[in-house]
Amino acid sequence: MAMVMAAVLSENVSLEDFMANPPDDMEWVDGQIAEKNGMTVKHSRIQSRLDRSWGNYKDYSGQGGEVYVEVPCLTDRRVRRPDVAYLTPELVAQFGEVPALPQSPPLIAEIVSPTDSAEEIFLKAQEYLDSGCLEVWIVFPESRWILIVNQTQKLTFNQGSTVSTQLVLAGFSVAVEELLA
């Protein structure tokens, strides 16, 4: 499958080598190191807001764990770097110091970039869900929609509504405008 969002930089890199030392801003896709690109200022701002919001909430609520941006994680097919990810305290204790996570985090947000295709984003969400993720937030900055996907449901939120976690980081909610403004 061709990747619109990634420029191939190196071919025939083993998964083991990549997992042992994942380069910044890179993903391992079908045996090749591919650069993540397409991030805009708006994308970066939303990523920062979501990172801060989830991070503050996990502290305030006492749930603990850690929030990461672009943490390398192994899916069933690739090594990905979700835009924002939350790990429970148990997963932090188990995997907190590894170079790359051996599974997808339980809560992930992907912020759609102008270079992403819809099909690619939905396939990536399913890839995360097939690899241990329980809940994926797909954030559409331009249309100001947030889609939450898990194994049993798909929920949409837009301006004027409040988006809430469904299965992970219990009780977190934020107004769509606050996150996407």
Backbone angle region of 30, left / alpha / beta, with phi > 0 → left and psi within -120 to 50 → alpha: left
Residue in 128, 145, 129, 146 with CA at minimum distance from that of residue 137: 146
Q: What pLDDT score does 32 carry?
A: 82
Radius of gyration of the chain (CA): 16
**Domain residues of the chain, as ranges?**
38-180
Q: What pLDDT score does 11 carry?
A: 60
Q: d(Cα 117, Cα 119) in Å, to the nearest integer? A: 5
Taking the C-alpha atoms of 176, 177, 179 and 181 in order, what is their torsion angle to the nearest 10 degrees? Answer: 150
How do strand 135-140 and strand 107-111 relate by DSSP bridges? parallel
CB within 8 Å of 102: residues ≥ 6 apart? 19, 73, 74, 95
Residue 22 near residue 14 (C-beta atoms within 8 A): no
Q: What pLDDT score does 1 carry?
A: 32
Q: What pLDDT score does 131 carry?
A: 95
- pLDDT by 10s per residue, the chain, length 181: 333 344 445 567 788 888 888 888 788 887 888 887 667 889 899 999 999 999 999 999 999 999 999 999 999 879 999 999 999 999 999 998 899 999 999 999 999 998 889 999 999 999 999 999 999 999 999 999 999 999 999 999 999 999 999 999 999 999 999 999 8
Q: What pLDDT score does 10 carry?
A: 55
pTM over 0.85: yes
Architecture per CATH, domain 38-180, reads as Alpha-Beta Complex (3.90)
